[in-house]
Amino acid sequence: MFDFRKDYPKITESRAIIRFQDCDPLGHLNNAKYLDYFFNAREDQIPQVYEINPVDFFKKFKAGWVIYNHQIAYLRSALPGEWVRILSSVIFFNHDTVVTEYVMTDESKHQLKAVMWTTQTYIDSATGKRMNHHEEVMQFLGAIALRDFDFHPNAFQDRIKQIKQTLLNQA
């Protein structure tokens, strides 16, 4: 299912074009649609980068993740017809929780458009109750999570500043 001998990228990245139908009357990507773009990107990135299908996890372990919290900042509008980059990474995990960070930038990765942290808990699919990650799941998360990311749930605004500075330094 997952080759633990490989060194996998910790940050996944893909491109997307902002669709006119997803925009509000002012010509900006609708706030609710950011979630769709982020989740669709991650859904595409996982099998491409890690060579696994998340559905395989659900079938094998009879468990999965349920989202219970989002923190999102809309920083610059994404516009119809614009190509954007969407980066995603696991920034925190423990025995039953995963936090995924999503970043949307312009095509050149110079302008930060949005940042989102999504917190999920691992649940048993039969009971719907929270449970500990299986050992193989913990190994998978350990292999793909950002190392040395100092996660603090209340540090979201600080993280936005850090990403902006990184993009500025790369420009």
pLDDT at residue number 171: 79
pLDDT < 50 stretches in the chain: none
Q: Is residue 50 part of a domain?
A: yes
* Model pLDDT, residue 1: 63
Q: Which CATH number does the domain housing residue 17 bear?
A: 3.10.129.10
Instruction: Look at residue 44 and tell me if it is in a domain.
Output: yes
N-term to C-term CA, the chain: 38
Boundaries of domain holding 90? 12-170
Number of domains forming the structure of the chain = 1
In this prediction, residue 148 carries a pLDDT of 87
How far is Cα 161 from Cα 88, in angstroms, rounded to an integer? Answer: 17
Q: Exposed/middle/buried for 164, CB within 10 Å: 0-12, 13-18, 19+?
A: middle
Is this structure's pTM higher than 0.85?
Answer: yes
Per-residue pLDDT at 112: 97
